[in-house]
Amino acid sequence: MSAPSLDVKGMVEAFAKFDRDYKKGRGDSESPDSGALGWGESRFLDAYAKLYEVTGETRWLDRIADHFDRIIRNAKDRDGDGYLDWATPTYSTGVVRTSVLHNRGTGQVEPAHHRERDGKKANAMRDADYIVEFLTGKDYILRENQQWKVLHRSVYRPGKPIDALPGVAFTISGRPAAGDKFRVETRGAKPLEYIVHQGMFTYPVARFVEAVSGSRALKVRYGAQAQKFVAFIRKHIVEKHERYWLDTSKETGGYRFQEDQTERYPNRIMPHNQYLALARTFLVLKDCTKDPIYPDRVARMARNFKRALRKTGRAYTWYYWDWVENGTPGHSQIEDTSHGNIDIGFAVEACRRGVAFQGTDLKRLGRTLLDQMWNGSLADPKLGSHVDRKEGESGAIQSWIDLCAWEPQVWDVCYAIFQKQGAPVQTIPTILQAWGRMR
Break the chain into its structural domains and give their ranges.
8-87+192-438, 94-187
Amino acid letter for position 238: V
DSSP state of 138: S
Question: Is residue 373 within 8 Å of 409, Cβ to Cβ?
Answer: no
Identify the CA nearest to 365 among candidates 392, 405, 332, 330. Answer: 405
- If phi > 0 it is left, if psi is from -120 to 50 it is alpha, else beta; for residue 63 that is alpha
Strand, helix or coil at 87? strand
User: For the whole model, what pTM was predicted?
Assistant: 0.94
Strand (E) or helix (H) holding 369: none
pLDDT in tens, the chain (439 residues): 555 789 999 999 999 999 999 999 999 999 999 999 999 999 999 999 999 999 999 999 999 999 999 999 999 999 899 999 999 999 999 999 999 999 999 999 999 999 999 999 999 999 999 999 999 999 999 999 988 899 999 999 999 999 999 999 999 999 999 999 999 999 999 999 999 999 999 999 999 999 999 999 999 999 999 999 999 999 999 999 999 999 999 999 999 999 999 999 999 999 999 999 999 999 999 999 999 999 999 999 999 999 999 999 999 999 999 999 999 999 999 999 999 999 999 999 999 999 999 999 999 999 999 999 999 999 999 999 999 999 999 999 999 999 999 999 999 999 999 999 999 999 999 999 999 998 7
CA–CA dist 273, 321 (Å, integer): 8
pLDDT for the residue numbered 148: 87
pLDDT number for residue 363: 98
What CA–CA distance (Å, rounded) separates 100 from 187? 18
* C-alpha torsion sign, points 401, 50, 31, 260: positive
The highest-level CATH class for domain 8-87+192-438 is mainly alpha
- Are 256 and 246 within 8 A, CB to CB? yes
For the chain, the first-to-last Cα distance in angstroms comes to 11
Cis bond leading into 111, ω under 30°? yes
Is the Cβ–Cβ distance between 312 and 388 less than 8 Å?
yes
- Residue 439: what pLDDT? 75
The angle that helices 216-233 and 272-288 make with each other, rounded to 10 degrees, is 140
Rounded to whole angstroms, the Cα distance separating 377 from 392 reads: 15
